[in-house]
Amino acid sequence: MKATLVLFLFAASAFAQDPAAVMAAKAACGPSSVKFDAQQDASQHPTPEPDPGKAMVYVVQSLGEIECASCTLTRVALDGAWVGATQGTSYLFFPVDPGEHHLCVNWQSRFEWKSKALALANFTAEPGHVYYFRVRLSLSRLIYVFDLDPINNDQGKLLVASSGLSVSHPKK
């Protein structure tokens, strides 16, 4: 009975979507055809400060109790272009120009239902500032929850220090 109810709720929400609004929101993501290879390098923990006139963004993936952390690869995009990917509990960083920016994280998987999971955030970068965002993937009542949230600098530094660097490159 519960499975039927969940199926009904998902079907009802699918019919209620506004395709144009969904496409506009997904503009922060990169092309779906781009796939990444990524691995975690626990021996490296670089934490560069922003260059003059730039800001720095850190994206930390925190998986908590997920059983197959090495199976979780998340693509990260800024303003419609993929900048890298995280693998398991790891982080990446990249410089940004001052101004308004839009982030997208997308679960890369060979399973279509997982690949639809994405989360979005926006922020206004100021020169010399560092911004931290946490990607969380959790399992709640047999449903995966995928979130992207800004976090404060103290929490961000702690998560970066306790995570490995994600080394990624687009698949050819």
Residue 100: the pLDDT is 98
The answer to whether residue 13 is domain-embedded is no
Local confidence band at 133 (pLDDT 50, 70, 90 cut-offs): very high
Coil vs helix vs strand at 30: coil
Rounded mean pLDDT of 127-147? 85
What DSSP character marks residue 79?
T
This prediction's pTM: 0.84
Residue 70: the pLDDT is 57
The answer to whether residue 4 is domain-embedded is no
- Number of structural domains, the chain? 1
The CATH number assigned to the domain holding 91 equals: 2.60.40.2890
The answer to whether residue 22 is domain-embedded is no
- Share of residues in the chain with pLDDT > 70 (%): 83
Q: Are 62 and 89 in contact, with CB atoms under 8 Å apart?
A: yes
Coil vs helix vs strand at 25: helix
The answer to whether residue 5 is domain-embedded is no
Closest CA to 141 of 4, 6, 1: 6
